[in-house]
Amino acid sequence: MISAAEIYIGLMSGTSVDSIDAAAMTFNDGQLQLIGTYSQPIPAILKRNIIDLCQPGRDNVQLYCQTDSQLGELFATAVVALMSAESIAPDQVAAIGSHGQTIRHAPPGASAIAFTQQIGDANIIAARTGCKVVADFRRKDMALGGHGAPLVPAFHQTLFSDPMKSRVIANIGGISNITVLANNGHCYGFDTGPGNLLLDAWCNKHTGCSFDDKGIWGASGQSDDKLLSRLKFHPFLALSAPKSTGREAFNLSWLEQQLTDLDLIAEDVQATLMNFTAQTLAEAIRALKEPIDEIYICGGGVFNEALMTQLQSNLGAIPVQSTQQLGLDPAWVEACAFAWLARQRLHGLPGNLPRVTGASRETSLGAVYLP
Ligand SMILES: Nc1ncnc2c1ncn2[C@@H]1O[C@H](COP(=O)(O)OP(=O)(O)OP(=O)(O)O)[C@@H](O)[C@H]1O
Ligand SMILES: [Mg+2]
């Protein structure tokens, strides 16, 4: 029996808008114990509204407010289902860390006014679950001049560093980001570019499936050099860190502009997108100053077998493995990171790494909502 208020629940709904991930864990003496997980599907209409809200130019305050409430309810539903499945009582939960759904991310440098917005009303989550909620993790870092992203490196450092090995933890979600854990203790990281988001968008448009299972469809095509070189011309790729990105920069309409005057079959475009994701991630890793001994992947991209094969072939002798090899299921690393960030908040400990985000100082992240 776990004693009172020791459990933290992480809630993650990422750029892919594939599902809401809820993970319950304890974290004592540096050891994470995953108690249970729950994946909440997102109804198709809500998914469409979220993706609509992500497009600058299609601004709709009514839709924004409604979606904020609807997502608050859906996040709460996911937590209630998890707590019920695992017989967790509200008084056993120290806090829920809710990332929220990003609908806009305009980091410093990308626009004249920096902002980032995650929605899914935390008041509703607190009221429905009877638990304390920590939310709005990114904006304090941005208020201090940072990108508010990526925020997972401090968690990766706590859990996955090894004094004998220089490691990279790569999260392939909608966007890909890496954390470098050098064997001298240095830790830094940044977004490398697209993860699954372009692959999902193209696959959905041409097959009706929300993702390309195991990368089988993409692997049936041939990567096109001309398209690949156009994609690699994206200005984000040439920026130096700190850097972060989102759907504003990588989306279907940008891809379709690159396809103008190219006559390619859909499978070849998918193959090229897979190559693009693998190459941009591998090139970011190969350009690091430290020689890297091991690479561990988390996020849904790890289940795209064709992408993993390409990544390994782009990285030569450096072994590419799953975070499962380090003891944490790759599907739940992000949700656990936000559970851990909620714990950092309650303990008044920092959640950001200024070297990663560019913020002027370390700070505890998130606002606390009481039930
Ligand atoms: N079996 C599979 N085959 C191929 N791709 C998969 C498979 N399972 C999951 N994925 C990919 O992983 C994606 C979901 O990954 P994940 O949940 O890590 O991303 P996310 O929600 O965008 O998270 P974040 O932005 O926080 O990193 C799916 O949209 C899909 O593209
Ligand atoms: Mg997801």
Q: Identify whether 1 is part of a domain.
A: no
Residue whose entry in the numeric block shows the structure tokens 């782009």 = 314
Tokens found for residue 300:
């849904």
Residues 201 and 52 in one domain: no
E strand or H helix that includes residue 177: strand 175-181
Residues 189 and 293 in one domain: yes
Q: Would you say 157 and 187 are in contact if contact means Cβ atoms under 8 Å apart?
A: yes
Number of H helices, E strands in the chain: 14, 12
pLDDT value of position 4? 59
Q: Containing domain of residue 238, as a range?
A: 153-326
pLDDT value of position 5? 73
In CATH, what number is assigned to the domain containing residue 246? Answer: 3.30.420.40
Instruction: Please choose from 18, 217, 251 the residue to mutate so as to test ligand 1's pocket, defined by most ligand atoms within 8 A of CB.
Output: 18
| CA 184–ligand 1 middle distance (angstroms) | 32
pLDDT value of position 284? 97
Three-state DSSP state, 239: coil
Residue whose entry in the numeric block shows the structure tokens 């990332």 = 99
Q: Identify whether 91 is part of a domain.
A: yes
Three-state DSSP state, 73: helix
Instruction: Please choose from 16, 37, 152, 171 the residue to mutate so as to test ligand 1's pocket, defined by most ligand atoms within 8 A of CB.
Output: 16
Per-position pLDDT tens, the chain of length 371: 555 579 999 999 999 999 999 999 999 988 999 999 999 999 999 999 999 999 888 789 999 999 999 999 999 999 999 999 999 999 999 999 999 999 999 999 888 899 999 999 999 999 999 999 999 999 999 999 999 999 999 999 999 999 999 999 999 999 999 999 999 999 999 999 999 999 999 999 999 999 999 999 999 999 999 999 999 999 999 999 999 999 999 999 999 999 999 999 999 999 999 999 999 999 999 999 999 999 999 999 999 999 999 999 999 999 999 999 999 999 999 999 999 999 999 999 999 999 999 999 999 999 999 99
Query: Is the C-beta atom of 25 inside 6 A of ligand 1?
Result: no
Handedness of CA 309, 313, 314, 316 (dihedral sign): positive
Query: Is the C-beta atom of 200 inside 6 A of ligand 1?
Result: yes
Q: Identify whether 311 is part of a domain.
A: yes
Could you tell me whether strands 7-13 and 19-28 are parallel, antiparallel, or unpaired per DSSP bridges? antiparallel
Residues 36 and 138 in one domain: yes
Number of domains in the chain: 2
Of 164, 162, 102, 183, residue with least CA distance to 138:
102
| CA 177–ligand 2 middle distance (angstroms) | 14
pLDDT value of position 58? 74
Q: Identify whether 303 is part of a domain.
A: yes
Q: Identify whether 68 is part of a domain.
A: yes
Ligand lying nearest the CA atom of residue 15: 1
pLDDT value of position 233? 97
Question: Which atom of ligand 1 is nearest to 331's Cα?
Answer: 18
Beta bridge partner(s), residue 25: 8, 34
Residues 117 and 157 in one domain: no
Backbone angles phi, psi at 251, to 5 degrees: -155, 175
Long-range contact list for 318-321, CB < 8 A, 24+ apart? 318/285, 318/292, 318/293, 318/294, 319/294, 319/295, 320/295, 321/294, 321/295, 321/296, 321/297
Residues 182 and 202 in one domain: yes
Q: In angstroms, rounded to a whole number, what is the distance separating the alpha carbons of residues 54 and 25?
A: 31
Residues 286 and 160 in one domain: yes
Query: Is the C-beta atom of 193 inside 6 A of ligand 1?
Result: no
Q: Would you say 140 and 366 are in contact if contact means Cβ atoms under 8 Å apart?
A: yes
Residues 187 and 315 in one domain: yes
Q: Would you say 25 and 339 are in contact if contact means Cβ atoms under 8 Å apart?
A: yes
Tokens found for residue 276:
């693009």
pLDDT value of position 338? 98
Residues 183 and 115 in one domain: no
Alpha carbon 277 to its chain centroid, in Å, reads: 15
pLDDT value of position 111? 83
Residues 115 and 196 in one domain: no
Residues 196 and 288 in one domain: yes
Tokens found for residue 98:
């809710």
Question: Which atom of ligand 1 is nearest to 18's Cα?
Answer: 29
Q: Identify whether 129 is part of a domain.
A: yes
Residues 101 and 219 in one domain: no
| CA 187–ligand 1 middle distance (angstroms) | 25
Tokens found for residue 41:
């599907």
Query: Is the C-beta atom of 300 inside 6 A of ligand 1?
Result: yes
Q: Identify whether 2 is part of a domain.
A: no
What pTM was estimated for this model as a whole?
0.96
Residues 56 and 96 in one domain: yes
Instruction: Please choose from 99, 190, 211, 220 the residue to mutate so as to test ligand 1's pocket, defined by most ligand atoms within 8 A of CB.
Output: 211
